[in-house]
Structure 1
C-alpha cells in the first residue's frame, strides 16, 4: 500500500434539520462549492446525497468532500474567513454532522 504524499481528503456527512427549505439547502450547497474559488488551499469539491439501499446512513443525507494538497492547506482553509463565515451559515441548519479527514492510500496488488 502506498500513501498519497501530501493529499488530504476532508469529508463531511450531514443531515439538515427537518423543515429546512429545499431552496435554502441548494443555496448552502452552492456556497460550499464556491469555497473552492474563495480559499486557495481547497483544490476540489464534490457532494452528493445518500442513495444506499442498506439503511445504514444513521440519518445522514448529504456528503461533502474537499481535497487539499496538505494538512497545512486544510488548516489554512479551516481558519480562512470565507470558511468561517460559511460555517456560521450552514451549521445552524444541520441537525447533525461528522467530519473525517484522511490521506488516501492506494492499494497495489
Structure 2
C-alpha cells in the first residue's frame, strides 16, 4: 500500500434540519461548491446523496468531499474567511454532521 502523495480528502456527512427546503439545500450546495473559486488550497469538490442499499446511513443524507494537496491546505481552508462565513451559515441548517479528513492510500495488488 502506498499513501497518495500529499493528497488530503475532507469529507462532510450531513443531515439537514427537517424544515430546510429543497431550494435552500440547493442554494447551500452551490455556495459550498463555490468555495473552490474562493479558497486556493481547495482543489476539487464533489457531493451526492446517500443511495446505499444497506440502510446504515444513521440519518445522514448528503455527502460532501473536497480535495486538498496537504494537511496545511486543509488548515488554511478551515481558517479562510470565505469558509468561516459559509460554514457558519451551512452548519446552522444542519441537524447532524460528521467531518473527517483522511489521506488516501493506494492499494497495489
Give the shorter-chain TM-score range: over 0.9
Q: How does 1:82-93 map to 2 (within 5 A)?
A: 82-93=82-93
Deviations 1:4-29 (CA, angstroms, capped at 9, x unpaired) = 12100000000000011111000000
Shift of 1:75: 0.3
Structure 1 unpaired stretches of 5+:
none
CA RMSD of aligned residues (A): 0.4
Matched position secondary structure for 1:86: helix
TM-score, length basis structure 2:
0.99
Runs of 4+ residues over 4 Å off in structure 1 = none
Deviations 1:42-72 (CA, angstroms, capped at 9, x unpaired) = 0000000001111100000000000000000
1-side partners of 2:49 and 2:101: how far apart? 19
The aligned length equals 109
Structure 2 unpaired stretches of 5+:
none
1:34 and 2:43 aligned: no
TM-score, length basis structure 1:
0.99
